[in-house]
Chains A and B, each alone.
Chain A
Amino acid sequence: METAPRQIVAFGGGGFSMESGNPLLDDYVLGLAKAERPRVCFLPSASGDADHYIVRFYRAFSAHRCEPSHISLFRREQGPSDLRRHLLSQDLIYVGGGSVVSLLGVWRAHGIDSILREAWESGVILCGLSAGSLCWFAEAVTGFHGEAKRLRGMGLLPFSNCVHYERGGERRDAYHRFLREGMCGGYAAEDGAALHFVGEELNRVVASRPQARGYRLDVAGRRVVEMQIATTYLGDREAPPAAPLPEALSTAPAPAAG
Chain B
Amino acid sequence: MSGNGRLPEAATPVRRILALGGHEFSSRPPDRAVCELLLRLAGERGGARPRICILPTASGDTSEQISSFYAAFGERPCEPSDVSLFRLGRRPLALRDHLLSQDLIYVGGGSLLNLLAVWEAHDIASILSLAWRQGIVLAGQSAGAMCWFEAGITKSSGKPLAAAGLGLLSGSLCVHYNNEPERRAAYLDAVADGMPSGYGLDDYAGLLWEGEGNPSSLTARRGARAYRVSSREGEVLESPLPVRFLPAPAPAALREDIAEFRRITGMRKRAGWLG
Given known pairs A49-B60, A77-B158, the reply for A98 and B86 (CB within 8 Å) is yes
Inter-subunit contact B62/A48 (CB<8 Å) = yes
Inter-subunit contact B157/A110 (CB<8 Å) = yes
Our pick among B59, B61, B117, B122 for the contact of A109 (Cβ within 8 Å) is B117
Inter-subunit contact B62/A105 (CB<8 Å) = no
Inter-subunit contact A74/B114 (CB<8 Å) = yes
Q: How far is the CA of A102 from the CA of B122 in the complex (A)?
A: 7
Residues of A within 8 A of B85 (CB): 48, 99, 102
Our pick among B88, B89, B117, B158 for the contact of A108 (Cβ within 8 Å) is B117
Our pick among A50, A74, A145 for the contact of B88 (Cβ within 8 Å) is A145
Inter-subunit contact B62/A104 (CB<8 Å) = no
Inter-subunit contact B120/A105 (CB<8 Å) = yes
Task: Indicate if A73 sits at the interface (CB-CB under 8 A).
Answer: yes
Task: Indicate if B133 sits at the interface (CB-CB under 8 A).
Answer: no
Given known pairs A74-B114, A77-B155, the reply for A101 and B62 (CB within 8 Å) is no
Task: Indicate if B111 sits at the interface (CB-CB under 8 A).
Answer: yes
Q: How far is the CB of B86 from chain A (nearest CB, A)?
A: 4
Inter-subunit contact B89/A145 (CB<8 Å) = yes
Task: Indicate if B8 sits at the interface (CB-CB under 8 A).
Answer: no
In the complex, which of the residues A73, A74, A106, A145 has the most CB atoms of chain B within 10 Å of its own CB atom? Answer: A74
In the complex, which of the residues B87, B116, B122, B158 has the most CB atoms of chain A within 10 Å of its own CB atom? Answer: B158
Instruction: For B58, give the chain A residue with the smallest CB separation.
Output: A74
Residues of B within 8 A of A49 (CB): 60
Residues of B within 8 A of A145 (CB): 88-89, 92
What 0/1 readout, one digit per residue, does chain A (48-69) give for beta carbons within 8 Å of chain B? 1111000000000000000000
Task: Indicate if A258 sits at the interface (CB-CB under 8 A).
Answer: no
Inter-subunit contact A76/B122 (CB<8 Å) = no
Give the bracket for the number of chain B residues in contact with chain A. Answer: 20 to 34
Instruction: For B120, give the chain A residue with the smallest CB separation.
Output: A105
Inter-subunit contact A51/B117 (CB<8 Å) = no
What 0/1 readout, one digit per residue, does chain A (152-174) give for beta carbons within 8 Å of chain B? 00000000000000000000000
Inter-subunit contact B114/A109 (CB<8 Å) = yes
Inter-subunit contact A105/B121 (CB<8 Å) = yes
Instruction: For B92, give the chain A residue with the smallest CB separation.
Output: A146
Inter-subunit contact A99/B86 (CB<8 Å) = yes
Task: Indicate if B50 sits at the interface (CB-CB under 8 A).
Answer: no
Inter-subunit contact A102/B110 (CB<8 Å) = no
Task: Indicate if A81 sits at the interface (CB-CB under 8 A).
Answer: yes
Within 8 A of B (CB), among A64-98: 73-77, 81, 98
Given known pairs A106-B117, A109-B113, the reply for A48 and B61 (CB within 8 Å) is yes
- Given A50-B60, A102-B85, A146-B88, 13 more A-B residue pairs with CB atoms under 8 Å apart are A46-B86, A73-B111, A75-B111, A76-B158, A77-B158, A99-B86, A99-B88, A105-B118, A105-B120, A109-B116, A109-B117, A110-B114, A145-B88
A-B contact pairs, 23 of them (CB 8 A): A47-B60, A47-B86, A50-B62, A75-B111, A76-B156, A76-B158, A99-B88, A102-B121, A102-B122, A105-B114, A105-B118, A105-B120, A105-B122, A106-B114, A106-B117, A106-B118, A108-B117, A109-B113, A109-B114, A109-B116, A109-B117, A110-B114, A110-B157
The 3 A-B pairs at the shortest CB distance, nearest first, are namely: A48-B60, A105-B121, A109-B117
